[in-house]
Amino acid sequence: MAKVRKRFVCQSCGHESSQWMGRCPSCEMWDTFVEEVSAPAGPRTIVATSTTTAPVSLSAVPGTTDERIRTGSPELDRVLGGGIMRGSFTLIAGDPGIGKSTLMTELARHLPERRILYVSGEESVSQVKSRARRLGVSGENLLLLAETDVNAIVGAMDAVTPDVLVVDSIQTVFRPEIGSAPGTVTQVRESTAELLQVTKQRDIAAFVVGHVTKDGSIAGPRVLEHMVDTVLYFEGDRHHAFRILRAVKNRFGSANEIGIFEMREAGLAEVADPSGIFLSERGYGVSGCTVVAAMEGSRPMLVEVQALVTQTSYGTPQRSATGLDNRRLQMLLAVLEKRFGLRLAMHDVFVNVAGGIRLDEPAADLAVAAAVASSFRDVPVDTRSVVLGEVGLGGEVRSISRLEARLNESRRLGFERAIVPKMGRGSIKVPAGMEVTGVVSLSEALDLLI
Burial of 290 (C-beta count, 10 Å sphere; 0-12/13-18/19+): buried
Q: Provide the pLDDT for residue 47.
A: 42
pLDDT tens for each residue of 331-373: 999 999 999 989 998 999 999 998 878 898 999 999 999 999 9
What is the DSSP-derived secondary structure letter of residue 426? T
Q: Provide the pLDDT for residue 32.
A: 77
Q: Provide the pLDDT for residue 220.
A: 65
Mean of pLDDT values over 375-398 = 94
Q: Provide the pLDDT for residue 48.
A: 44
In sequence order, which residues have a C-beta less than 8 Å from that of residue 416 and are 6 or more positions away?
384, 385, 433, 434, 435
pLDDT above 60 (res 291):
yes
Q: Strand 89-94 to strand 230-236: parallel, antiparallel, or no bridges (unpaired)?
A: parallel
Mean of pLDDT values over 89-93 = 94
Mean of pLDDT values over 25-31 = 81
205 - beta bridge partners?
164
Quick one: how far is CA 26 from the chain centroid?
25
> What's domain 68-272's superfamily in CATH?
P-loop containing nucleotide triphosphate hydrolases (3.40.50.300)
pLDDT tens for each residue of 48-78: 444 556 898 988 877 665 678 998 889 999 9
Sheet hosting strand 33-38, strand order edge to edge: 16-17, 5-10, 33-38
What pTM did the predictor assign?
Answer: 0.78
pLDDT confidence bin for 379, thresholds 50/70/90: very high
pLDDT above 90 (res 14):
no
Calculate the average pLDDT of the chain. 87
pLDDT above 90 (res 306):
yes
Taking a C-beta distance cutoff of 8 angstroms, is the pair 382, 343 a contact?
Answer: no
By percentage, how much of the chain surpasses pLDDT 70?
Answer: 92
Torsion of CA 223, 227, 229, 235, to 10 degrees: -30
**Terminal-residue alpha carbon distance, the chain:** 81
pLDDT above 90 (res 411):
yes
Give the number of other Cβ atoms within 10 Å of residue 170's Cβ.
27
Q: Provide the pLDDT for residue 216.
A: 65
pLDDT tens for each residue of 412-431: 999 999 999 998 777 788 99
Q: Looking at this protein, which amino acid is placed at residue 104?
A: M
Residue whose C-alpha is closest to residue 410's, from 266, 291, 281: 291
Which range of 14-23, 191-200, 237-246 scores highest in mean pLDDT? It is 191-200
pLDDT above 70 (res 40):
no
What is the DSSP-derived secondary structure letter of residue 98? S
Half-sphere exposure of 41 (CA within 13 A, CB side): 5
Mean of pLDDT values over 124-138 = 92
Mean of pLDDT values over 131-150 = 92
pLDDT above 90 (res 105):
yes
Q: Whole-angstrom Cα distance, residue 170 to residue 163?
A: 19
Mean of pLDDT values over 287-316 = 91
CATH class of domain segment(s) 277-449: alpha beta
Q: Provide the pLDDT for residue 235.
A: 86
By percentage, how much of the chain surpasses pLDDT 90?
Answer: 55
Mean of pLDDT values over 188-199 = 93
Q: Whole-angstrom Cα distance, residue 273 to residue 355?
A: 13
Torsion of CA 333, 339, 341, 345, to 10 degrees: 30
Burial of 67 (C-beta count, 10 Å sphere; 0-12/13-18/19+): exposed
Q: How far is CA 312 from CA 1, 243, 324, in A?
A: 70, 34, 21
Half-sphere exposure of 383 (CA within 13 A, CB side): 8
- Which has the higher per-residue pLDDT, 437 or 218? 437
pLDDT above 70 (res 189):
yes
Q: Whole-angstrom Cα distance, residue 365 to residue 36?
A: 48
pLDDT above 50 (res 158):
yes
Domain ranges of the chain: 5-38, 68-272, 277-449
pLDDT tens for each residue of 245-263: 999 999 998 888 889 999 8
pLDDT tens for each residue of 77-88: 999 998 999 999
Q: Whole-angstrom Cα distance, residue 409 to residue 413?
A: 7
Q: Provide the pLDDT for residue 435.
A: 94
Quick one: how far is CA 279 from the chain centroid?
22
Q: Provide the pLDDT for residue 3.
A: 54
